[in-house]
Amino acid sequence: MIKSIRLDERLIHGQVATKWSRVLGVNRIIVANDEAASNEVMQKSLMMAAPSTCKVAIVPVEKAVAFCNDPRAEALSILVIVSNPDDLLTIARETHGAEQVNVGNYGRIAPKRGTEARHSYSLNLYAYDDEAATLREVVATGIPCNVQTIPDDAPQSLEKVLG
């Protein structure tokens, strides 16, 4: 079962390894990212940051969808992590039974488009207009969506944050 789908451009890092994995009680972390799945250096870095309490898979988005939809995944507690709004929408639409979508960190280090600036929606959420539209599509899936960097922060409704 998917406990949470998290948008975090840094994928696995300290907040995920020490806080989110423990608070959510997950035993699997799936990094759904085409680039990381094909980059051995990124994979090694992510695995070093991963908590020892969870099995971790770094796979293309399509494979993450298949894994999450496999009936055997129902017995697992899964955190899926994506690095961009498009992948978030794919996972939200194409998997079943996710308990929540959590937007943690996005837009500060994501690839830029020339001199165009992202709009600031919260302390750790910056998005271009089309990215915000994609996030609104995620909200429209009906999965509860929040913006919350760490578990100690009060969650905010993604819909309200986007305005």
Q: In this structure, what are the phi and psi dihedrals at residue 41, rounded to the nearest 5 degrees?
A: -65, -45
Active centre residues (catalytic):
13
Which residue type is seen at 63? K
Q: In this structure, what are the phi and psi dihedrals at residue 49, rounded to the nearest 5 degrees?
A: -85, -15
Spatial contact of 125 and 161, defined as CB atoms under 8 Å apart: yes
Q: Do strands 2-8 and 78-82 pair parallel, antiparallel, or not at all (unpaired)?
A: parallel
Q: In this structure, what are the phi and psi dihedrals at residue 161, rounded to the nearest 5 degrees?
A: -60, -40
Alpha carbons 76 and 157: distance in angstroms, whole number? 26
